[in-house]
Amino acid sequence: MTRVRIDASNPVVEAGLRTLLEEKVGFQAMKSGEIADVLLSDRQFDEIDNDPPPLPVVLLTHQSASSMLRQGARGVLPPNSSPIEIRAALEAAAAGLLVLPAQEAESWPAAQLPMSDTTLTAREREVLRLLAEGVGNKEIAWRLSITEHTVKFHVSSLMSKLNAGSRTEAVTQGIRRGYVAL
């Protein structure tokens, strides 16, 4: 069962979403601080309380899906979406997929799609955090008790997943996506 945390703009909306999730969709609504698979919100992406580790976010909004996805949301639906659409969006986002309304998807070139925030492995996240500290490959290898070759593999992989051309750009993307705290 998919566990969903709700971050609503007011208590009435939160109660409505909680009822929708538990009675109509069949998902478990989690409280803040409890482990969840995905976050559902009616707020703007930059207003969401998405404590680390960040969860995939599905927004119920009239805002542009492309704008919200570029900011980091995993899914965007209109507020009047059906329970079936919300269920599908939450399952897809929890699985690492992007969700947007069909009318926007048809006009959106694939090259504009952001990379998945959930694609970095735990080890790649550790390597990225050490890169942000300015640590070199040898030191990373020593700290993580892995070979320098393995560090190079992880750096290459995370740079590819973050669509970064340099270590600095990878760290910048990591900060934007919440993998690296300032």
Measured between alpha carbons, how far is 22 from 81 in angstroms, rounded to an integer? Answer: 16
Measure the N-to-C terminal CA separation of the chain; round to a whole number of Å: 34
- C-beta separation of 5 from 30 below 8 A: yes
Question: What is the residue-averaged pLDDT of the chain?
Answer: 83
pTM confidence score: 0.59
Across the range 9-18, mean pLDDT stands at 90
What pLDDT, on the 0 to 100 scale, is given for residue 44?
85
Across the range 36-52, mean pLDDT stands at 84
Summarize pLDDT for 91-103 with one digit per residue, the tens: 888 888 888 877 7
- C-beta separation of 129 from 151 below 8 A: no
Residue 23 tokens, joined: 């009675």
What's at 23, amino acid-wise? E
The answer, yes or no, to whether residue 5 has pLDDT greater than 50, is yes
Across the range 47-64, mean pLDDT stands at 83
Q: What is the CA radius of gyration of the chain?
A: 18
What pLDDT, on the 0 to 100 scale, is given for residue 174?
83
Question: Omega of the bond prior to 109 within 30 degrees of 0, cis?
Answer: no
Q: Output the CA angle 174-177-178, nearest 5 degrees.
A: 85
**How many other C-beta atoms can be found within 10 angstroms of the C-beta atom of residue 87?**
19
Q: What domains, with CATH codes, occur in the chain?
A: 3-109 (3.40.50.2300), 122-176 (1.10.10.10)
Across the range 17-45, mean pLDDT stands at 86
The answer, yes or no, to whether residue 113 has pLDDT greater than 50, is no
DSSP SS3 for 160: helix
Q: Output the CA angle 74-110-7, nearest 5 degrees.
A: 10
The answer, yes or no, to whether residue 164 has pLDDT greater than 80, is yes
E-assigned strand segments in 32-151: 38-41, 57-60, 75-77
The answer, yes or no, to whether residue 105 has pLDDT greater than 50, is yes
